[in-house]
Amino acid sequence: MPSSTSSSETRPRPLKYIVGLLAALLIAQTAIQQGATWVMRHYGKNETRWAAERAAANDLKHDGKGVLLMGSSVLFSVDPDLLQKKMPDWTVRRAVMVGTFYTDWDYCLRRLTREGLRPDYVVIVALPFQIFGDSFRGDYLPLHWIDRADIHDLARDRHLDLTAETNLYFSSINSFFALRDDVRGALMNAFIPGHRSLIVLASAGTRVYSDAEIERIAGDRLVALQTRLAGQGTRLVVLRYPAPGMDAHWAVVERAAAARKIPYFSAIDYIDKKKFIDPYHLGEQGTQEFTTLLAPAMDAALRPFRAK
C-alpha cells in the first residue's frame, strides 16, 4: 500500500480522506481526554484527596471552633488526624492546594465561601514567597478553585493577556485542559528518569523581591484576604512554616502582618534539615513532630479570639 512514487502534488485526493483524517483526530483526541481525565479523577492522588478534603470542609459551620488550614503542599507536613486528636475543642479541616500561591487561595476562598463554606478561622500554611510571589496555579485553577465568573477579575488582577484569560475559560469547561499539566507530569515521572527533580529545580523562583516590596505586597494581600473573610464572619490567621532558609522572608511577612493586625503565630521556628525530604516538605517523622508542636501553638493563637 505505501507508495513512494505517489506524489501528493499529482494525485488528486478525494474528500473522504480529509473527513477520515478529521474523524481520526477527533476520536483520538476525545479518547485521550476522556481516558486521562477519568484516570486522574479516580486514581490521581490530588484529585481524590481534594474531593475528600472539600467534602470534609463542608462540615465547618460558624460555631466558634471551626478551623480550616489552607495553603500549598507544605500543608502535607501537617497530619490532620493527629492535629484533630490533639485539639479536641476544635473542628480542624485541611485543604491542600498543591503548587499554589496567594492568588489561588484568595479565589478558592471566594468560591468556597460562596458555595457555603463557613469556617471560623482560616489558617494560611505556606512558604513566604507563596504569600508575596506573583505566580498562580494557571490553567488548573478553574478545575476546582475558581468560579468561572471570577476569571475576568483574576485576569485583571494578574494582568493576564487575552490568550491566558481565554485558556482559563477553556479550562473551566474542559477538565482535561485543566488537568493536562498533571497528566503530563504523571507520564513523565513514570517514564523519564529524574523528571520530578528537574521540574522542582525548574520551578524555583527567579524574581528577587526587596524587603520593602515583600512587606507592601504581603501586607496588602493579607489585609485584602482578611477583609473578604471578615465579611463572612471568618478570621484570617497566618502560620509561620519552618522551612529552612526562609527566616529573612518570614521576618518581613511577620512585620507586615503585625503592622496590619493580622494574627500570625509560630509553632517552632526551626526544624532540623534532616527531617525534610526536600527543601520544603517534612518527612513522616518531621510531620508528626511538627503537628504535635502545632496543636498547642494554634490553640493558644486562636483561643483569645474564641473567648471574644
The span of 96-104, 147-155, 172-180, 208-216 binding other proteins (CB under 8 A) equals 172-180
CA distance 172 to 277: 34
CB of 176 to other proteins, least distance (A): 8
* By the rule CB under 8 A, 4 interacts with other proteins: yes
The stretch among 12-20, 41-49, 211-219, 222-230 that binds other proteins (CB under 8 A) is 12-20
**What is the C-alpha separation between 33 and 39, in angstroms, rounded?**
10
Q: Which is nearer to other proteins, 36 or 69 (CB)?
A: 36
Measured in degrees and rounded to the nearest 5, phi and psi for residue 203 equal -90, 0
Q: Which of residues 186-205 bind other proteins (CB under 8 A)?
A: 187-188, 192-195, 197-199, 201-202, 204
Coil, helix or strand at residue 218: helix
Q: For 240, phi and psi rounded to 5 degrees?
A: -80, 115
Say whether residue 207 binds other proteins (CB under 8 A): no
Q: Which residues pair with 123 in a beta bridge?
A: 69, 237
Among the listed residues 18, 51, 55, 300, the single contact to other proteins using CB under 8 A: 18
Q: Does 245 bind other proteins (CB under 8 A)?
A: no
Query: Toward other proteins, which CB reaches closer, 17 or 270?
Result: 17
Q: What is the CA radius of gyration of the chain?
A: 23
Q: Is 239 helix (H, G, I), strand (E, B) or coil?
A: strand
Pick the closer one to other proteins by CB: 201 or 307. 201
Q: Which residue has the cell 492535629?
A: 83
Segment 138 to 167, residues that bind other proteins, using CB under 8 A: 138-139, 161-164, 166-167
Q: Does the footprint of other proteins cover residue 2 (CB under 8 A)?
A: yes
Residue (of 254, 220, 224, 226) closest to 239 by Cα position: 254
Considering only residues 51 through 70, tell me which ones interact with other proteins, judged by CB under 8 A. none
Question: What is the DSSP code (8-state) at residue 72?
Answer: S
In whole angstroms, the minimum distance from the beta carbon of 7 to other proteins comes to: 6
Contact 69, 93 (CB under 8 A): yes
Extract the runs of DSSP E, i.e. beta strands, from 43-89: 66-71
Smaller CB distance to other proteins: residue 121 or 177?
A: 177
Hey, how many other C-beta atoms are within 10 angstroms of the C-beta on 154?
Answer: 22
* Contact string 20-39 vs other proteins (x = CB under 8 A): xxx-xx--xx--xx--x---
Total residues binding other proteins (CB under 8 A) = 54
Question: Distance between CA atoms of 185 and 37, rounded to whole angstroms?
Answer: 14
Do 98 and 48 form a contact (C-beta atoms < 8 A)?
no
**Residues near other proteins, by CB under 8 A:** 1-9, 11-15, 17-18, 20-22, 24-25, 28-29, 32-33, 36, 138-139, 161-164, 166-167, 170, 174, 177, 180-181, 183-184, 187-188, 192-195, 197-199, 201-202, 204, 206
